[in-house]
Amino acid sequence: MLPVTLESARVRLDVPTRADTAAITDACQDPDIVRWTTIPTPYREQDARTFVDALVGPGWASDREYTWAIRRRGSTWLEGIIGYRTAGRDLGFWLAPSARGAGLMHDAVELVVEWAFTDGAPDVYWECYEGNTASAAVARSAGFSFTGTGPARIPGRDGGPTTAWTAMRRADGAPASELAWPDAP
């Protein structure tokens, strides 16, 4: 698929490029991004270039994973990343500390989920490592239903199993479950 640009009043989602290397590298120094994702640590500029070259472009070309840069509308600076993997119809995302609390991630999630539904997805899945209350708060506010705690689809940084909170949002708007969200504000 050719990359798609999505926009709201607050954000513009487009393809991350090598021009975003410094922003990606800087954001990936954040202890919370390191803690809750599987990015390499320490994270270097070469890691950002590899991410753009080996994941972003090939992901779009193969229809395996669609990755967007999150930018404030009217800005070229990358504030975060959101990705949608087609095999599991699932989201992953992170946001730089300087961009948190402005509603950017909420808008980004809404745009990607609605785009996936328009493209025919019956539902979208989300997971985070157990305890990531910030990610859970985003999913919850974006209308995802908590579906439980269990083995994560994505292994931990060491390749071993880890536990995840999971949620789903259905295209028809019906709740995916009646379970209560754990520890989410």
Residue 68 has pLDDT above 60, yes or no: yes
Distances in Å between the alpha carbon of 97 and those of 1, 118, 129, 154, 166? 31, 31, 19, 23, 24
Asked, for residue 183, whether it belongs to a domain, the answer is no
List the domain range (segments joined by +) for residue 119.
6-170
pLDDT level of residue 59 (50, 70, 90 thresholds): very high
Asked, for residue 184, whether it belongs to a domain, the answer is no
The answer to whether residues 42 and 153 touch, using CB atoms and an 8 Å cutoff, is no
- Total domains in the chain come to 1
pTM of the model: 0.95
Asked, for residue 1, whether it belongs to a domain, the answer is no
CATH number of the domain to which 97 belongs = 3.40.630.30
Asked, for residue 185, whether it belongs to a domain, the answer is no
| pLDDT tens-place string over residues 161-176 | 999 999 999 999 999 9
Task: Supply the pLDDT for residue 15.
Answer: 98
